[in-house]
């Protein structure tokens, strides 16, 4: 099993997202992450889809995506040739001032921002590549993560 | 072109006419009143009133497969659209070009669970090549043009257009007949020259070349090219169910249909060949069976298909070619014609010859020991009907008896539900076939179980004067399931018995059709003549045995050379 990131330019029509997710369901593929946003061209949207599967499953699904009428362009983004980012917001439990300080120091060392703090919790924002976010979240579990939100990843090819 | 001011309904009809649509199969409804008001009393677009929306879709499908043009069906919102779904899935699975128009509640009521509201757009998404929900009248010209373009190009399929009531009744100023298409839809039809050259070399050097012809040959009208290639190479030809008719089945190089219920020697040839050229087929599980190591184990496998997503989907191949099969065959033939010598295949040709004659003997020998009434009736039918006659089939035993024993000579004359396996398909498909080809005889080879699923459209045949003949292999069982229960489930015939009703002759007569019962295959010709001479739609009730089995077959889990029930075959 491996994860593949596919970047798509799609027509900005109602139903495109349903069509896309329906196609994954139909072909038995699990989506790890899917984001949709406007792009540089009017009338088109960019979708970034991360899917997990074997090489041959992923190849099949890439072709099925290409068959969708509203998909204008399909780009396969290899991890080494792309800049990949995910945004994470998490609320970490801080039982006392020592913990709060420790959490804030660790957050700083990861390049995360403190968005809010109360006496018993801190809200942190971290925008990073997904693996680094995973490690940061694991670390914060040690203190107690009350809430976790991730946007799903977006990616851009280097060339 | 100057802008014109028209109601949505008028735009729809104008665009349909511009796309060359001459006939539509449909049923009106509340939200379609505006559309049907425009269809009323005009000559250019013939509308055939069906008695069930499923039949409207199957009729459009049958029409498309026989004519090669896009079939059109119409249904109202809610139940009309949901009834259509089976027919759409069927056509799409078999890559038949169909455009479906459905009514929808007014745009302001969408999502309110209004009367006869269903989310047709989302329901039909997985069973269509593409679909549209039109929100503005001014979008209609572009949507309709693209619907036909998408349905009839690349890998053909179904496109549905959902039309809210107000989109049809509102007036808009539009440019009719736009040519603009979608940036993301560019069907890849030109095959790669390097790949076709490589293919020609493999085929020229092969000692035992075989061609597997699928439905793609028929939908791209490539029968001539297929035949030229087979004859030039001295290659055997086997077909899929959908490819039946791609080459005349009495052609000396043709070994008939391969697969689970195929001919013994079609399957043997797949196992024995050293180069397999697969054309316009998706290697369905009913073709390959389950032991893939028995499927062309010694062969270089070449796969030509217009849909890139089919390459390496079900079968790993050595040489993939994406493109129109007719163009690919043309290129391969060109490369081969440059070769000096293509000989050296005499041993294989001899083998094909003996396999072909063994197969023909089984098919033609009407009273061959072990023959069942079912196969004798179909053999009779095969002899009685002329080469141009169109046969449609229902699904199950009747379908496989037809596939096995009805000898198809021309493309677009054997119409069957291949992928979805829809019982009830054959009869409404025959209606569409007869509308597409009114001068040809059209016969539905039916089973009693299948026919009961859509027989209400006998009313359509009578009222719209569409004289098709339904020949029922009547065993009062869901025969194929019963056969599996007999062979693989200890003869426990769970819920496959259908009882004794109805009397199909009286049923036919109740609708105003001609009906006749035959108990002996030799009486079929007389009954068929009576049916054709009556000029009416007709039902011929052919009484067959409940134990009749369609054999040989590949049992579940088996491979292409693991057929059972081969005792009756001639062995060579």
Say whether B116 is catalytic: yes
CB B110 within 8 A of CB B164: yes
Do residue B311 and residue B373 come from a single domain? Answer: no
Instruction: Identify which has the larger pLDDT, B281 or B2.
Output: B281
Report the distance separating Cα B88 and Cα B124, nearest Å: 8
Do residue B155 and residue B222 come from a single domain? Answer: no
Do residue B312 and residue B387 come from a single domain? Answer: no
Report the distance separating Cα B518 and Cα A60, nearest Å: 51
Say whether B165 is catalytic: yes
Residues in B closer than 8 angstroms to A10, CB to CB, are 184
Domain boundary among B289, B321, B356: B356
Catalytic residue among B156, B165, B198, B409: B165
Q: Answer whether residue B481 shows pLDDT above 80.
A: yes
As beta bridge partners, residue B465 has none
Is B129 in Cβ contact with A10 (below 8 Å)? no
Domain region containing B305: 193-356
Confirm or reject contact between B130 and chain A (CB < 8 A).
yes
Helix (H) or strand (E) run with residue B43 in it: none
Do residue B352 and residue B372 come from a single domain? Answer: no
pLDDT in tens, B69-86: 999 999 999 999 999 999
Query: Pairing state of beta strands B442-447 and B469-474?
Result: parallel
- Give the pLDDT band of residue B517 (cuts 50, 70, 90): very high
- The answer to whether residue B300 sits within a structural domain is yes
pLDDT in tens, A91-132: 999 999 999 999 999 999 999 999 999 999 999 999 999 999
Do residue B340 and residue B207 come from a single domain? Answer: yes
- The answer to whether residue B180 sits within a structural domain is no
Residue B514: what are its φ and ψ, rounded to 5°? -85, 140
| CB-closest option in B135, B184, B307 to A71 | B184
CA distance A64 to chain B (A): 6
Q: Answer whether residue B339 shows pLDDT above 90.
A: no
Do residue B132 and residue B208 come from a single domain? Answer: no
pLDDT in tens, B153-173: 999 999 999 999 999 999 999
Nearest to B172 by CA among B44, B349, B2, B11: B11
| CB-closest option in A11, A56, A63 to B182 | A11
Do residue B423 and residue B494 come from a single domain? Answer: yes
Residues in B closer than 8 angstroms to A70, CB to CB, are 182, 184
Q: Where are the domains of chain A?
A: 2-77, 83-157
CA distance B133 to chain A (A): 9
What pLDDT, on the 0 to 100 scale, is given for residue B343? 63
Q: Which residue of B has its CA nearest to A62?
A: B309
Say whether B53 is catalytic: yes
CA distance A91 to chain B (A): 37
Nearest to B52 by CA among B431, B396, B391: B431
Question: ∠ at Cα B68 (B64, B69), nearest 5°?
Answer: 65
- Which residues are CB-neighbours of A133 under 8 A, at least 6 positions away? A86, A88, A126, A150
Q: Percentage of chain B surpassing pLDDT 70?
A: 99
pLDDT in tens, B25-44: 999 999 999 999 999 988 99
Nearest to B282 by CA among B313, B255, B319: B313
Considering only A74-88, B22-36, B44-58, which range has the smallest mean pLDDT?
A74-88
Rounded-to-10 torsion of CA A85, A87, A93, A97? 80
Question: ∠ at Cα B551 (B385, B486), nearest 5°?
Answer: 125
**CB within 8 Å of chain A, chain B residues 174-203:** 182-185
- The per-residue pLDDT of chain B, averaged, comes to 96
pLDDT in tens, B168-191: 999 999 999 999 888 889 998 999
| Count of CB atoms situated within 10 Å of the CB of B5 | 9
Structure tokens at B523: 């009486």
**CB within 8 Å of chain A, chain B residues 426-455:** none
Rounded-to-10 torsion of CA B74, B80, B85, B88? -10
What pLDDT, on the 0 to 100 scale, is given for residue B371? 85
Residues in B closer than 8 angstroms to A28, CB to CB, are none
- Which residues are CB-neighbours of B425 under 8 A, at least 6 positions away? B58, B61, B90, B392, B393, B394, B395, B416, B417, B450, B454
Instruction: Quickly tell me which residue has 């072990």 as its tokens.
Output: B370
Confirm or reject contact between B307 and chain A (CB < 8 A).
yes
Report the distance separating Cα B425 and Cα B394, nearest Å: 6
What pLDDT, on the 0 to 100 scale, is given for residue B364? 75
Mutation target vs B (from A67, A72, A73; most B CBs, 10 A cutoff)? A67
Is B126 in Cβ contact with A63 (below 8 Å)? no
What pLDDT, on the 0 to 100 scale, is given for residue B365? 75
Same fold, A2-77 and A83-157: yes
Q: Is B313 helix (H, G, I), strand (E, B) or coil?
A: coil
Nearest to B91 by CA among B215, B208, B200: B215
Residues in chain B: 572
Do residue B342 and residue B402 come from a single domain? Answer: no
- Give the pLDDT band of residue A54 (cuts 50, 70, 90): confident
- The answer to whether residue B347 sits within a structural domain is yes
CATH number at residue B335: 3.40.50.1220
- Which residues are CB-neighbours of A124 under 8 A, at least 6 positions away? A89, A90, A91, A92, A103, A107, A112, A113, A114, A115, A140
- The answer to whether residue B563 sits within a structural domain is no
Q: Which CATH superfamily is domain A83-157 in?
A: ACT-like. Chain A, domain 2 (3.30.70.1150)
CATH number at residue B151: 3.40.50.970
Catalytic residue among B22, B116, B291, B440: B116
Q: Which residue of B has its CA nearest to A43?
A: B183
Report the distance separating Cα B345 and Cα B337, nearest Å: 17
Report the distance separating Cα B373 and Cα B524, nearest Å: 12
Residue A84: what are its φ and ψ, rounded to 5°? -120, 130
Q: What's the number of domains chain B is made of? A: 3
CB A87 within 8 A of CB A127: yes
CA distance A110 to chain B (A): 41
Nearest to B90 by CA among B422, B452, B457, B395: B422
CA distance B154 to chain A (A): 10
The class that CATH gives domain A2-77 is alpha beta
Say whether B480 is catalytic: yes
Report the distance separating Cα B207 and Cα B192, nearest Å: 25
Inter-chain contacts counted by CB atoms under 8 A, chains A and B: 43
How high is the ipTM of this complex? 0.89
- The answer to whether residue B152 sits within a structural domain is yes
Confirm or reject contact between B313 and chain A (CB < 8 A).
yes
- Which residues are CB-neighbours of B43 under 8 A, at least 6 positions away? none
Nearest to B422 by CA among B93, B63, B173, B48: B93
Q: Which residue of A has its CA nearest to B121?
A: A15
Do residue B286 and residue B328 come from a single domain? Answer: yes
Q: Answer whether residue A44 shows pLDDT above 90.
A: yes
Nearest to B537 by CA among B435, B426, B459, B445: B459
Do residue B464 and residue B379 come from a single domain? Answer: yes
What pLDDT, on the 0 to 100 scale, is given for residue B1? 65
Do residue B346 and residue B462 come from a single domain? Answer: no
CB A51 within 8 A of CB A25: no
Do residue B118 and residue B29 come from a single domain? Answer: yes
CB A84 within 8 A of CB A75: no
Strands (E) across B285-357 are located at: 300-305, 319-322
Residues in B closer than 8 angstroms to A18, CB to CB, are 122, 125
Mutation target vs B (from A69, A71, A72, A73; most B CBs, 10 A cutoff)? A69
Helix (H) or strand (E) run with residue B29 in it: none
- The answer to whether residue B549 sits within a structural domain is no
Is A71 in Cβ contact with B182 (below 8 Å)? no
DSSP-assigned letters across all residues of A47-98: EEEEEEE-HHHHHHHHHHHHHSTTEEEEEEE-GGGEEEEEEEEEEEE--SHH
What pLDDT, on the 0 to 100 scale, is given for residue B189? 92
Residue A91: what are its φ and ψ, rounded to 5°? -105, 115
- Give the pLDDT band of residue B515 (cuts 50, 70, 90): very high
What pLDDT, on the 0 to 100 scale, is given for residue B344? 63
Is B312 in Cβ contact with A10 (below 8 Å)? no
- The answer to whether residue B273 sits within a structural domain is yes
Q: Answer whether residue A68 shows pLDDT above 90.
A: yes
- Give the pLDDT band of residue B340 (cuts 50, 70, 90): low
As beta bridge partners, residue B319 has B302
What pLDDT, on the 0 to 100 scale, is given for residue A78? 76
């Amino acid at each position: 099993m491996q994860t593949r990131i596919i970047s798509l330019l799609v027509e900005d029509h109602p139903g495109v997202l349903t069509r896309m997710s329906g196609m994954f369901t139909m072909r038995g593929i699990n989506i790890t992450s899917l984001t949709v946003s406007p792009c540089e061209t009017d009338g088109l949207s960019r979708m970034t889809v991360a899917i997990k599967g074997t090489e041959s499953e992923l190849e099949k699904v890439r072709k099925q995506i290409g068959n969708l009428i509203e998909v204008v362009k399909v780009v396969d983004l290899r991890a080494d040739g792309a800049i990949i980012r995910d945004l994470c917001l998490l609320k970490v439990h801080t039982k006392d001032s020592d913990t709060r300080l420790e959490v804030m120091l660790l957050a700083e060392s990861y390049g995360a921002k403190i968005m809010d703090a109360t006496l018993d919790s801190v809200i942190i924002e971290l925008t990073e590549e997904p693996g680094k976010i995973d490690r940061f979240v694991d670390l914060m579990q040690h203190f107690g993560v009350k809430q976790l939100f991730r946007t799903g990843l977006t990616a851009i090819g280097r060339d | 072109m100057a802008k014109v001011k028209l109601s949505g309904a008028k735009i729809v009809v104008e665009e349909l006419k511009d796309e060359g649509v001459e006939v539509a199969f449909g049923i009106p409804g509340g939200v379609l009143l505006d559309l049907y008001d425009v269809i009323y009393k005009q000559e250019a677009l013939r509308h055939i009133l069906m008695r069930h929306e499923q039949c409207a879709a199957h009729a459009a499908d049958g029409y498309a497969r026989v004519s090669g043009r896009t079939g059109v069906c119409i249904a109202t919102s809610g139940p009309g659209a949901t009834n259509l779904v089976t027919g759409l899935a069927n056509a799409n699975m078999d890559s038949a070009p169909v455009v479906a128009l459905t009514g929808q509640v007014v745009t302001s009521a969408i999502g309110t669970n209004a009367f006869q509201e269903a989310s047709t757009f989302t329901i039909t998404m997985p069973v269509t090549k593409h679909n549209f929900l039109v929100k503005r009248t001014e979008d209609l010209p572009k949507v309709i043009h693209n619907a036909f373009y998408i349905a009839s190009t690349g890998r053909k399929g179904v496109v549905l257009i959902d039309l809210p009531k107000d989109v049809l009744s509102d007036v808009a100023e539009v440019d009719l007949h736009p040519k603009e298409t979608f940036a993301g839809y560019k069907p890849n039809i030109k095959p790669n020259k390097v790949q076709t050259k490589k293919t020609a070399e493999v085929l020229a050097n092969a000692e035992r070349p075989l061609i597997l012809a699928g439905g793609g040959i028929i939908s791209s009208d490539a029968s001539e090219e297929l035949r030229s290639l087979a004859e030039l190479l001295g290659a055997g030809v086997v077909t899929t169910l959908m490819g039946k008719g791609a080459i005349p089945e009495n052609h000396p190089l043709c070994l008939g249909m391969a697969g689970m219920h195929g001919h013994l020697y079609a399957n043997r040839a797949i196992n024995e060949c050293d180069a397999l050229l697969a054309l316009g087929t998706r290697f369905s599980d009913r073709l390959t069976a389950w032991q893939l190591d028995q499927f062309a184990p010694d062969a270089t496998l070449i796969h030509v298909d217009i849909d890139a997503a089919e390459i390496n989907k079900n079968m790993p191949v050595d040489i993939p070619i994406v493109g129109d099969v007719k163009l690919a065959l043309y290129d391969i033939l060109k490369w081969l014609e440059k070769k000096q010598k293509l000989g050296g295949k005499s041993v294989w040709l001899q083998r094909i010859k003996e396999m072909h004659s063994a197969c023909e003997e089984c098919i033609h020998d009407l009273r061959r020991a072990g023959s069942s009434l079912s196969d004798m009736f179909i053999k009779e039918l095969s002899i009685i009907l002329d080469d141009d006659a169109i046969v449609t089939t229902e699904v199950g035993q009747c379908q496989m008896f037809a596939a096995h024993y009805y000898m198809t000579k021309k493309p677009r004359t054997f119409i069957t539900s291949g992928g979805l396996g829809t019982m009830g398909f054959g009869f409404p498909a025959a209606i569409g076939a007869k509308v597409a080809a009114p001068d040809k005889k059209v016969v539905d080879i039916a089973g009693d179980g299948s026919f009961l699923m859509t027989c209400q459209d006998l009313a359509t045949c009578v009222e719209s004067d569409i004289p098709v003949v339904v020949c029922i292999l009547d065993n009062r069982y869901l025969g194929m399931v019963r056969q599996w229960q007999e062979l693989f489930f200890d003869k426990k015939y769970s819920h496959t018995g259908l009882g004794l009703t109805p009397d199909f002759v009286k049923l036919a007569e109740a609708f105003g059709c001609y009906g006749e019962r035959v108990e002996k295959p030799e009486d079929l010709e007389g009954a068929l003549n009576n049916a054709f001479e009556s000029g009416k739609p007709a039902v011929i009730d052919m009484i067959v045995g409940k134990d009749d089995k369609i054999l040989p077959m590949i049992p579940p889990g088996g491979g292409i050379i693991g057929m059972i029930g081969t005792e009756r075959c001639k062995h060579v």
